């Protein structure tokens, strides 16, 4: 028995990093996906292990279910209907399980993602043997939400094998979660994101869960309806980034310069709100499509300048 889920990546048009500090952000999903397949063994397989296969990276991790149970069964694992943060004690036990896998030094950045996998799997499915296969069209560390897409697709496939959701709406050959069940999925995905990034805003997993375009602030979601035929070009610079380190850097700068950074965050908030208003403006209003595009271009340039003020930039991309 197996099931496959997919979740899209994202782009943030304005508000990246500032959204962690309460600013409004505007984001959209993109048609690049991460796919997660969950396969349970049959009794004839006589397999009592949990396997995680990262096909694109040619890596496989496996743990005897007995070892996972010994490490985590003494802890209070959450009920699958109640998304819960990974405790310090659980994180220590999970880190030990991940460490024994001897992840290659060049790919040690994957450790947090593997930890998120173990937390989500055991929290939702418990101690069952299975094989989980991950493939992705999203480049890692590129700002396109690869970790959030993993968390969402993983939570989706795990919840699909629970009694908590009904999946009966067909869209382009894929079964869909009902709107009222997306909140549970999104909350579990956010718990995975917290393990990977430390202090995420929640915007990445939210846009990956709900799709389309959203306005997001402090956990509150507004699903946007675009009236503008807007086309965006996404360029992979091949310059990697560490989201967790960048988020921490902005927080440290905000502690050192609270007043100045508050002005920056407020400016970002205003940019996002104006951008949202333009994108959703009625067809046939006083501004032409070209004028709207010019305004959006200016707003995104201003947002980029504010990202530099927060310390979120790559020197190689400024020259």
SS3 205: helix
* DSSP state letter for 40: P
Give the integer Cα–Cα distance in Å for 19 and 219.
10
State which H helix or E strand residue 264 sits in.
helix 258-279
**How does pLDDT run across 73-88, given as a tens digit for each residue?**
877 776 788 898 999 9
- 259 catalytic residue (yes or no): no
Catalytic one of 56, 76, 204, 286: 204
Give the integer Cα–Cα distance in Å for 28 and 224.
9
**How does pLDDT run across 154-164, given as a tens digit for each residue?**
999 999 988 77
**How does pLDDT run across 2-41, given as a tens digit for each residue?**
899 999 999 999 999 999 999 999 999 999 999 999 999 9
CA 187 to chain centre: 11
How is domain 2-224 classified at the architecture level of CATH?
2-Layer Sandwich (3.30)
The answer on pLDDT for 128 being more than 80 is: yes
Tokens of 287: 């501004």
Q: What average pLDDT does range 255-284 have in this prediction?
A: 94
Q: What are phi and psi of 26, to 5 degrees?
A: -120, 130
Q: What average pLDDT does range 277-300 have in this prediction?
A: 86
Closest CA to 249 of 208, 204, 308, 177: 308
Give the integer Cα–Cα distance in Å for 288 and 111.
49
Instruction: Indicate the domain borders of the chain.
Output: 2-224, 243-310
State which H helix or E strand residue 53 sits in.
strand 49-54
């Amino acid at each position: 028995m197996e099931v496959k889920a997919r979740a899209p990546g994202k782009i943030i048009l304005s508000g990246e990093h500032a959204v962690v500090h309460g600013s409004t952000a505007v984001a959209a999903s993109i048609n690049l996906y991460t796919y997660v397949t969950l396969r349970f063994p049959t009794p004839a397989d006589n397999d009592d292990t949990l396997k995680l296969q990262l096909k694109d990276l040619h890596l496989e991790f496996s743990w005897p279910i007995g070892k996972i149970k010994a490490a985590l069964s003494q802890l209070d694992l959450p009920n699958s209907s109640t998304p819960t943060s990974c405790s310090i004690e659980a994180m220590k036990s999970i880190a030990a399980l991940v460490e024994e896998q001897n992840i290659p030094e060049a790919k040690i950045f994957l450790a947090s993602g593997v930890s998120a996998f173990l937390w989500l799997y055991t929290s939702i499915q418990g101690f069952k043997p299975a094989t989980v296969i991950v493939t992705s069209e999203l480049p890692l560390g590129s700002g396109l939400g690869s970790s959030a897409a993993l968390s969402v697709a993983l939570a989706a496939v795990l919840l699909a094998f629970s009694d908590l959701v009904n999946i009966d709406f067909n869209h382009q050959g894929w079964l869909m979660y009902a709107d009222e069940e997306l909140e549970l999925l999104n909350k579990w995905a956010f718990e995975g994101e917290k393990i990977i990034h430390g202090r995420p805003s929640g915007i990445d997993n939210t846009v990956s869960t709900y799709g389309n375009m959203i306005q997001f602030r402090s956990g509150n979601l507004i699903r946007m309806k675009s009236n503008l035929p807007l086309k965006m070009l996404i360029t992979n610079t091949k310059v990697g980034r560490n989201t967790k380190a960048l988020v921490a850097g902005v927080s440290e700068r905000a502690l050192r310069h609270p007043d100045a950074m508050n002005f920056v965050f407020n400016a970002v908030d205003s940019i996002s709100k104006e951008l949202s208003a333009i994108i959703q403006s009625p067809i046939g209003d006083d501004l032409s499509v070209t004028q709207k595009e010019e305004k959006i271009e200016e707003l995104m340039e201003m947002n980029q300048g504010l990202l530099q003020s927060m310390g979120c930039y790559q020197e190689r991309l400024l020259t």
